[in-house]
Structure 1
């Protein structure tokens, strides 16, 4: 098993539309464990959990919010890891897991640190206490609400005692602070930025997952970026043709199909004509989807990448009014694409349920995904430059 773990300060889960967007992002990440901070919820039930992570194989542990602030929830796929024990503290939700694939025992702690330095010292004590009770390989992730070095925050020039206390805790617990890829900051209010979120792992955990790396994901609906600790990449192969219900949301789609259907002039028996027309319609739909409608997933990825580029630019300089307007436009467009994807995923999940029922199909999918992860190249240096584009990597390897 090569897990993907995501940590994200979502700034509230009270709104249904926001949970819908978060569920779409969780599905996009294909994460095995997700830790959400600042839920602002006093309780969690299966209805709320299902609105975040669709499916019957999800389990969770949570820390209730303190009034209208704070709160942590850790979600995981029970087909991937099994909870052995859990600990709910004042600033952490910790679980000891056993991997289903290889029975590997390890521990994860989701963290949401306090804003004040004095309260944050209680977090270091809490982590030290849990660490001493469970003699296991560790992965700790979340919003610590403090940086380690002045270079991790805009406008910071000196090493403060809070930074030193954070580094001392990492040293005392013998943890590895992984570098982060795809960006520096994990929080920004469009005026300043800092790296408040991170994953820390023990050397034993790193030895078991030697290909582990940490990366920043695209953000939407929060002033924090999601971060992922990824023990291996995965890319899917080509899919067979299927009619997508989301196409019906496109203006004039039904009239376009009628026009195509009427234009086919064929000779033969009625059954032959019907089959030939369906085959011709399939080609027209594929062409239209490719050239006009577009791949919603790829379009969303492209717009998220453009949004990330503007966010990185904002870290080093002030945006022009046109760039600010483009950020707003991208946010609205991404939300529209997310709703289209929801239509598509509801269609796919319903078809899978009718065909397979509650069987172990997901297990075989996950086995296949593990092979894809092993054969995947996430990044390649081409002439000394980092390349992450799949087609460029393919062309370079072939050349």
Structure 2
């Protein structure tokens, strides 16, 4: 903040145990505020600090980043040997949620404060939703503790190239009236191919179709909103007739449809299990998806005693590890002497060897949660259910061949 080539300060505010600097990040001309916090020790003192920090956010009216020692946890796992959250911790957690702040994950360590056998994660960085939208790659890294009882926290905004994104069937596609027709045509064009190979081949036309029809949903929404604004301007100028009214209704309907598609998309990407009442908060699900992506990324891996950060080498090492872990080993033949194990009767034996029926397979599919994927090919059960009329027979045959 002291480097005038990076940051231009407009205002500075300070309390007893916090300091806030509001200004502009010059690299991208981004208005924001940084607030350094040292948390109080009593519950009453902490409540007073949370109220002051809420006030300063309203005063600055820009995206804000709180960082420092908050002297409080938000999860039971953040304090060693703790089995429940204290009333003070519940207050802090409620404040974070009420302010719609994102608690950035710290992946390289569990605790940031140490004293004797006591360990806690009381140092953290909380940012507003606007911050994560402007810096989607923001993440935390812990530094060496040295002689201090705290670990320093480093905030980074580095873009990590992970290669091509894996295919994933998206539920939002089913809101388009032409999607199932496209799947039907592409599926038939693939001809008589093994079921799993057919699914793999289908990913390419699905990718192209999604990019063509659903590419940049925000721009499509913005276009409809601008057109609605133009119609409203005409109405204000006295130019409004039956044609204008019909056009406005059609534009509103299309815009609403794209909002629904965007909501479905980000809810699926976030994998949120929250109540349906929160479904309308697309921005909330977008933030969850971004946080989940940051949290799941593997930046470095120790391979043969060496820290490796090359993404290609990391992927190869992970693949080889699980390939070795799950390879089939030759098992010794084990026999049982008569009388040690009870035999099943003939009727039970026939029942065990009986082939599955198509009705049983369909029932099992519909019993699965739609968002779950049976394998790593990117297709979830919702895709199988929606496209059952086209691929159901081949899916059933593939299952029966497997058994």
Q: TM-score, normalised by structure 2?
A: 0.41
Q: TM-score, normalised by structure 1?
A: 0.42
- Structure showing the higher strand proportion among its residues: 1
